[in-house]
C-alpha cells in the first residue's frame, strides 16, 4: 500500500483574548452587576459601624431602597422584628474574626415586606492582610424557604395522622386500661362509705389513698392518649429516654398481655438527657413497640414472644434498642422497610417506620435495623445528647 496522505489543513490558532479598553471594561462590569440576580453590598471595615460604600442595582431592587438611602448606613437597616438575633450575632462574630459567613436570615424591604435572604459575606484584605472591606452577596430564597416549611408541615401532618391511627388501633386496650383504675375507684369509694358507718378511720384513709392513686393513674392514661392525638408545635426539651421507654411499655401493657408478649426494660444508670420533643420521641418508640408486637402475633405456639427495650449511653448521647422475637425479614424487606407505604402487614399503611425514621432524623439521630442471631429484628434509635460535642 502507498503511504497515507497527510492533511495540510491546520486547526485554526486560538485567538488570544484582547484586553478591553478601560471604558469598555468599566461598562461591562457595570452591566454585569446590573443584570445579576444576586444583590451585592460592599461595606467599609476600617470605619466604625462598617458603613455601606457600594450597592449593586440588583440589591436596590431586592430591598426596595434606592442607593442614596442605603449608602453610609449599616446592613441593619433591612433587619426587622422577625430577624433572628442569634444569626445577627453569628454574622458579627464572623466579621470580627475575618471569616466568611453564609446562611439564611429574615430581612425586610422598604415597604415592610419580609423576605428570606441567603447571605454570604467575605472579607477583602489589603497587601498586608488587613481586612479593609466586606463584600456581601444576597439572594432572595423566600420561595425555597416556604417550600421547606410546607414540606415540614406535610411531615408533621403525616406524623400526626400516624399518631391518631396508633391510638385508634390501641383503642380497645386503652378502654380496658382506663376501666381498671375506674373500677378500683368505684370499689374503694364504696368501701370508704362502709367504713364510715363503722368509723374505721384507718381503713377509710387507705381507701381514699387508693382512690387518689387510681384516679391519677386513669388521668395519666388519658393524658398520654391526648398528647398523642393533639396537634401541637414541636417543642424540644431535655428528655429522659428511659422514662419515655417506661411510659411506652405502660401504655401498651394490655396489648402486650393480650398478645402473650413478655416485655422487659433494661436502662443504664445516669443516662444523658437528649434534646427532643417528648411526644415525638414517645411516638417513635411506640411505633417500634407496636410493630414488634404485630411481628410476634404470628409466631407458632412453641416460639417465644419476647420484647426487650434497652437504653444506654453512646458518644455523649443515647442508644435505644427495641428487640423482638418475631418472624424477622429477608434482605430485600430490610432494604425496603423505610420506603414510603411499604408494609408487611395485611392492613398496614406503610407509614409507621417512615414516620419513625423521620422523627428520629429530625432530632439529629438515625434509625438502624438488623436481624437477630435467632428470631426477629432489632431496631436501634441513636440520639445525640442534650449538648452534642
Taking only the tens place, the pLDDT of each residue in 144-160 is 887 877 777 666 666 66
What are the C-alpha distances in Å from 327 to residues 163, 175, 252, 259, 299? 25, 29, 20, 15, 7
Q: pLDDT tens digits, residue range 187-236?
A: 667 777 666 766 666 777 776 776 776 676 666 656 656 655 555 556 78
Query: 210 or 94, which is more confident?
Result: 94
More confident residue, 31 or 66: 66
Residues 236-255 have a mean pLDDT of 85
- The pLDDT of residue 386 is 73
pLDDT of residue 311: 93
The radius of gyration of the chain from alpha carbons, rounded to an integer in Å, stands at: 33
Hey, what's the cell of 336?
Answer: 425496603
Distance CA 228, CA 38 (A): 45
At residue 77, the pLDDT reads 85
pLDDT at 281 over 90: no
pTM: 0.46
**Per-residue pLDDT at 171:** 58
Q: What is the mean pLDDT of residues 234-258?
A: 83
Q: Burial level of 198, CB count in 10 A (0-12/13-18/19+)?
A: exposed
Q: What is the mean pLDDT of residues 46-56?
A: 87
- Mean pLDDT (the chain) is 77
DSSP 212-279: HHHHHHHHHHHHHHHHHHS------EEE-HHHHHHHHHHHTHHHHHHTT-EEEEEE-TTPPPEEE-HH
Q: Look at 24 and 129; give whichever has higher pLDDT.
A: 129
Question: What are all long-range contacts of 367-375, with beta carbons under 8 Å and residues at least 24 apart?
Answer: 367/284, 367/338, 369/334, 369/337, 371/328, 371/329, 371/334, 372/323, 372/325, 372/328, 374/325, 375/299, 375/303, 375/304, 375/325, 375/326, 375/327, 375/328
Q: Please give the share of the chain, as a percent, with pLDDT higher than 70.
A: 67
pLDDT of residue 382: 94
Residue 275 has pLDDT above 70, yes or no: yes
List all residues 6 or more positions away from 92 whose beta carbon is below 8 Å from its beta carbon: none
- Please tell me the distance from the alpha carbon of residue 50 to that of residue 67, in angstroms, as a whole number: 16
322: pLDDT confidence band, cut at 50, 70 and 90? Answer: very high
Give the angle subtended at the CA of 283 by the CAs of 280 and 288, to the nearest 5°.
135
Q: Give the cell for residue 148.
A: 421547606
Q: Which of 55-69, 199-213, 359-373 is least confident? A: 199-213
Query: Which carries the bigger pLDDT value, residue 15 or residue 327?
Result: 327
Cβ pair 227, 244 in contact under 8 A: no
pLDDT in tens, 3-49: 444 444 444 444 444 554 555 455 556 555 565 668 888 888 888 88
Instruction: Please tell me the distance from the alpha carbon of residue 174 to that of residue 170, in angstroms, as a whole number.
Output: 6
Give the confidence band of 379 by pLDDT, cuts at 50, 70, 90.
Answer: very high
Mean predicted confidence (pLDDT) in 69-86: 88
Amino acid at each position: 500500500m502507498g503511504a497515507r496522505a497527510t492533511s495540510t489543513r491546520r486547526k485554526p490558532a486560538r485567538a488570544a483574548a484582547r484586553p478591553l479598553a478601560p471604558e469598555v471594561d468599566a461598562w461591562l462590569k457595570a452591566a454585569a452587576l446590573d443584570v445579576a440576580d444576586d444583590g451585592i453590598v460592599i461595606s467599609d471595615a476600617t470605619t466604625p459601624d462598617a458603613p455601606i460604600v457600594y450597592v449593586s442595582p440588583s440589591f436596590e431592587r431586592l430591598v426596595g431602597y434606592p442607593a442614596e438611602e442605603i449608602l453610609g448606613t449599616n446592613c441593619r437597616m433591612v433587619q426587622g422584628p422577625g430577624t433572628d438575633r442569634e444569626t445577627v450575632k453569628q454574622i458579627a462574630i464572623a466579621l470580627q474574626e475575618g471569616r466568611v459567613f453564609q446562611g439564611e436570615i429574615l430581612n425586610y424591604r422598604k415597604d415592610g415586606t419580609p423576605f428570606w435572604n441567603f447571605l454570604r459575606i467575605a472579607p477583602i484584605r489589603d497587601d498586608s492582610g488587613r481586612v479593609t472591606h466586606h463584600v456581601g452577596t444576597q439572594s432572595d430564597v423566600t420561595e425555597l424557604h416556604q417550600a421547606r416549611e410546607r414540606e415540614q408541615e406535610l411531615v408533621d401532618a403525616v406524623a400526626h395522622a400516624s399518631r391518631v391511627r396508633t391510638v385508634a388501633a390501641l383503642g380497645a386496650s386503652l378502654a380496658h386500661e382506663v376501666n381498671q383504675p375506674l373500677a378500683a375507684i368505684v370499689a374503694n369509694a364504696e368501701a370508704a362509705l362502709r367504713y364510715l358507718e363503722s368509723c374505721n378511720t384507718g381503713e377509710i384513709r387507705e381507701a381514699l389513698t387508693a382512690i387518689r392513686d387510681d384516679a391519677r393513674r386513669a388521668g395519666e392514661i388519658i393524658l398520654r392518649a391526648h398528647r398523642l392525638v393533639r396537634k401541637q408545635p414541636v417543642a424540644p426539651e431535655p428528655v429522659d429516654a428511659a422514662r419515655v421507654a417506661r411510659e411506652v411499655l405502660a401504655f401498651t401493657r394490655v396489648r402486650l398481655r393480650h398478645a402473650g408478649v413478655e416485655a422487659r426494660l433494661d436502662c443504664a444508670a445516669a443516662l444523658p438527657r437528649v434534646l427532643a420533643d417528648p411526644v415525638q420521641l414517645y411516638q417513635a418508640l411506640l411505633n417500634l413497640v407496636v410493630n414488634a408486637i404485630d411481628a410476634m402475633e404470628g409466631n407458632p405456639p412453641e416460639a417465644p414472644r419476647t420484647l426487650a427495650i434497652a437504653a444506654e449511653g453512646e458518644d455523649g448521647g443515647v442508644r435505644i434498642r427495641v428487640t423482638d422475637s418475631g418472624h424477622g425479614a429477608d434482605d430485600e424487606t430490610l432494604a425496603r422497610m423505610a420506603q414510603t407505604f411499604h408494609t408487611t402487614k395485611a392492613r398496614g399503611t406503610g407509614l409507621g417506620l417512615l414516620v419513625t425514621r423521620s422523627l428520629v432524623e429530625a432530632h439529629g439521630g438515625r434509625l438502624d435495623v438488623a436481624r437477630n442471631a435467632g428470631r426477629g429484628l432489632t431496631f436501634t434509635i441513636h440520639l445525640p445528647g442534650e449538648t452534642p460535642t
